[in-house]
Amino acid sequence: MESRRLGNSEMQISVLGFGAWAVGGGGWMGSMGPQKEADSVPAIQAALDRGMNWIDTAALYGLGHSEEIVAQALAGRSPRPYVFTKCGRVWDSNRNVGASLKAQSIRRECEDSLRRLKVDSIDLYQIHWPDPDEEIEEGWTEMARLKEEGKVRYIGVSNFSVPQMTRAQAIAPITSLQPPYSILTREIEPEILPYAHSQNIGVLAYSPMSAGLLTGAMTKERVARFAPEDWRRNLPNFREPLLSRNLRVVEYLRQIGTRHGRSPGEVAVAWVLRHPAVTAAIVGARSAEQVCGIINAAHLRLSESEAEEINALLKQQAAA
């Protein structure tokens, strides 16, 4: 699989990385619903066997459980893939989630993640959300300290705006940015992607298949069956009138994919990887079978005319 250098780091990462949100399982507000535990470790191992060399997780996913699953998948594995995780989201004994970028909280989170992941150092440690905004400077200063101490190798941010990244950059360099980016979610194109590109900040695009909407397997019936805790229930793209429009887009992606022997989801991911500012894309999977259904996105090269077809379709659907 093709690899690219991540921002100002020395890490050469595969253009696809395994997203471990779903394998964290359910039982907390903000999950992607229940997960079959027996499928989780094989899913991660299938991704690594097929060329992915990094895993993206977070303390928040499953309230620590995703990190524990990642540790199980990596036990005894050589060579060891890069492990990326995130901080800034905390929870209490009742599983109520809150936000903190206080130095003491971030340090405690880092120690907990090191323990759950069973590693001596985290390859990339990221602030999950810039929340609370007034604590960004304190939080980023502590992230830089953790890097100096060797507890983490590199530090990055997720969901930050350009002004927020500028504030962090004044304290210590940002290695990476993790933003949402897909055919249906393009808000970062005017300002955020150009800024990251100009500052040599690697971009790890999450939800390149728009939280599963562009995989080709999503239907209105499946959306209606989402668990109450599934965060996608409240996303505009999963509700009418956008849901019907988006499913029409998927059928068009299916037509393009048929030309290449690829799925709609693989076309969607390949479209994200075309952008010169994007280093790699995070693809989530619940099973080894799902990994096999998306892995070839790394090798799919959309032509300029195909990209223009997609853009024209989106304009047409937006005007409808």
Residues contacting residue 272 through CB under 8 Å, at least 6 positions apart: 181, 182, 183, 205, 208, 278, 281
Catalytic residue from among 61, 82, 125, 206: 61
Contact 312, 66 (CB under 8 A): no
> How many Å apart are CA 255 and CA 304, to the nearest integer?
16
Is 61 known to be catalytic?
yes
> How many Å apart are CA 241 and CA 63, to the nearest integer?
33
Q: How many residues can be counted in the chain?
A: 320
> How many Å apart are CA 297 and CA 221, to the nearest integer?
26
Contact 60, 97 (CB under 8 A): yes
Pull the structure tokens for residue 307.
């990209």
Query: Which one, of 94, 96, 85, 101, lies nearest residue 168 by Cα?
Result: 101
Contact 260, 227 (CB under 8 A): no
Residues contacting residue 316 through CB under 8 Å, at least 6 positions apart: none
Query: Which one, of 181, 57, 26, 171, lies nearest residue 119 by Cα?
Result: 57
> How many Å apart are CA 313 and CA 253, to the nearest integer?
10
User: Tokens 């693989």 correspond to what residue?
Assistant: 266
Q: Please count the CA atoms within 13 angstroms of the CA of 198 that sit on its side-chain side.
A: 9
Q: Give me the active site residues, please.
A: 61
